């Protein structure tokens, strides 16, 4: 690993974004020039082959390529992942009615539009991958207690009493990031007064590797295809209604879900256990300070209606890893503001655009019933406009973005 004088890069947060960033740094040409520490508050990642994790992500092609180049994608797909080839989005009673749009991967020459993958699976595969990486340490059941700037770097104290002098502290610890607060990086945002209920459900009709999403006055409901033939439910609801349905019996919940999905996949049930989480939008005013930087939900949180939150976070990890690697190969300090501001400029525009677009969609479909004809006309117009649909699908796949185009330009082994 070197002579022990290498800079330490400390990552707070052992979720997919923090783990991916560490793996990218470990695979970079400058890997021997630094040490990477991950501090995670939770227990070590455990994926259960007998139980599908309730938390799943719709990974884009760009995210898939990051994992492919790290060499972990075969382990993810080989364990349990479901490609989805089509997507149907509609408002009203009929999934194939006039107020609907259908996306098909064949229209853009792709085998699929992405994969539905479990959170626990991604974390376990990446954790095992990092266990074999030189210079990477993972401390679970631990948190950053304090950060103070000092000579030579940030002086970090962990809950277990360990003290670390870090050249760079990365906050990848989620939307409620404590490290973001410690770094003094302010954020703006608001709660949507909605909660998302997640569950897995058996459906009468096969999902046909199709993601189904219906917009309702209270929020969208989605059925995402799972590898075992079931569908993952992601249902955004007003706070009060979400509470009612979390307390309801399975029969009552399934009846409500069947009505919400307009019978798109026939009768529903049985259903797994349910969980819920509050919905919000959040964006950091600045992504960086001297020797501190934000990534993933610590920097931006978007509405889940398009399933893009994790893809944005993984794009952050790729971009930040590229900037750190380039700096170290040039003999520069990875914690320099010049390095971190370049990352901020590359990622902030795309993240803000996605946040605002999803927020606008959320508000559009919350407008009164009188606006329904306008929304229907918009969906029908998109469905007829083949070039527009192709553009939207390529954006959802993550193809052609700024970091995507930069992958081969910087000499980064994993970028």
Alpha helices in 5-158 (DSSP H): 16-26, 61-70, 73-79, 119-131
Global pTM? 0.92
- When pLDDT is cut at 50, 70 and 90, the band that residue 334 belongs to is very high
DSSP, collapsed to helix, strand or coil, labels residue 279 as strand
Identify the pLDDT of residue 198.
98
- 86 strand-pairing partners: 104, 210
Which of 8-12, 62-66, 383-387 shows the lowest mean pLDDT across its residues? 383-387
Segment 165-205, tens digit of pLDDT:
999 999 999 999 999 999 999 999 999 999 999 999 999 99
Identify the pLDDT of residue 413.
34
Residue 250 burial by CB count (10 A; 0-12/13-18/19+): exposed, middle or buried? middle
Residue 170 burial by CB count (10 A; 0-12/13-18/19+): exposed, middle or buried? buried
Identify the pLDDT of residue 359.
86
Alpha helices in 132-277 (DSSP H): 178-182, 239-247, 250-260
Task: Provide DSSP, 49-81.
Answer: TTS--S-EEEE-HHHHHHHHHHT-HHHHHHHSE
Under 8 Å between Cβ of 321 and 25:
yes
DSSP, collapsed to helix, strand or coil, labels residue 43 as coil
- When pLDDT is cut at 50, 70 and 90, the band that residue 50 belongs to is very high
Segment 118-172, tens digit of pLDDT:
999 999 999 999 999 989 999 999 999 999 998 889 999 999 999 999 999 999 9
Decide which of 3.40.1350.10, 3.50.50.60, 3.30.70.1450, 3.40.140.10 is the CATH code for 8-189+280-406: 3.50.50.60
The residue ranges of every structural domain in the chain are 8-189+280-406
- When pLDDT is cut at 50, 70 and 90, the band that residue 25 belongs to is very high
Instruction: Tell me how many degrees the CA angle 26-27-28 measures, rounded to the nearest 5.
Output: 95
Whether the per-residue pLDDT at 31 is higher than 90: the answer is no
DSSP, collapsed to helix, strand or coil, labels residue 1 as coil
């Amino acid at each position: 690993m070197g002579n022990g004088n290498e800079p330490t890069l400390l990552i707070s947060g052992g979720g997919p974004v923090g783990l991916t960033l560490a793996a990218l740094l470990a695979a970079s040409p400058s890997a021997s020039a630094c040490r990477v520490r991950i501090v995670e508050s939770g227990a070590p990642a455990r994926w259960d082959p007998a139980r599908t994790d309730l938390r799943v992500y719709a990974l884009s092609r760009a995210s898939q390529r990051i994992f492919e180049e790290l060499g972990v994608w075969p382990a993810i797909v080989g364990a349990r992942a479901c490609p989805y080839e089509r997507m149907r989005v509609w408002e009203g009673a009929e999934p194939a009615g006039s107020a609907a749009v259908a996306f098909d991967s064949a229209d853009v020459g792709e085998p699929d539009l992405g994969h539905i993958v479990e959170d626990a699976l991604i974390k376990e595969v990446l954790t095992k991958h990092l266990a074999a990486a030189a210079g990477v340490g993972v401390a679970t059941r631990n948190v950053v207690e304090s950060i103070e700037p000092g000579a030579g770097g940030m002086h970090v104290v962990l809950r277990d009493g360990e003290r670390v002098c870090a050249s760079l502290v990365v906050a990848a610890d989620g939307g409620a990031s404590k490290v973001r607060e410690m770094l003094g990086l302010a954020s703006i945002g608001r709660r949507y007064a909605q909660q998302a209920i997640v569950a897995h459900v058996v459906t009468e009709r096969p999902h046909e590797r199709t993601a189904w999403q219906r917009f309702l006055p209270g929020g969208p409901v989605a059925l995402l295809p799972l590898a075992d033939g079931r569908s993952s439910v992601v249902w955004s609801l007003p706070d009060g209604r979400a509470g009612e349905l979390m307390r309801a019996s399975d029969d009552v919940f399934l009846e409500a879900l069947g009505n919400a999905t307009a019978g798109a996949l026939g009768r529903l049930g049985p259903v797994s256990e349910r969980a819920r989480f509050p919905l919000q939008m959040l964006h950091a005013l600045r992504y960086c300070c001297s020797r501190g930087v934000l990534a993933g939900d610590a920097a931006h949180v978007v509405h889940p209606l398009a399933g893009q939150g994790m893809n944005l976070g993984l794009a952050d990890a790729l971009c930040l890893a590229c900037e750190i690697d380039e700096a170290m190969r040039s003999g520069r300090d990875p914690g320099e503001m010049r390095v971190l501001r370049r990352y901020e400029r590359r990622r902030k525009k795309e993240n803000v655009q996605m946040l605002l677009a999803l927020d606008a969609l959320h508000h559009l479909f919350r407008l009164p019933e009188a606006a329904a004809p306008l929304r229907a006309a918009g969906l029908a117009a998109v469905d007829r406009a083949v070039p527009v649909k192709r553009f939207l699908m390529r954006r959802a796949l993550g193809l052609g973005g700024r970091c995507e185009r930069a992958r081969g330009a910087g000499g980064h082994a994993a970028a």
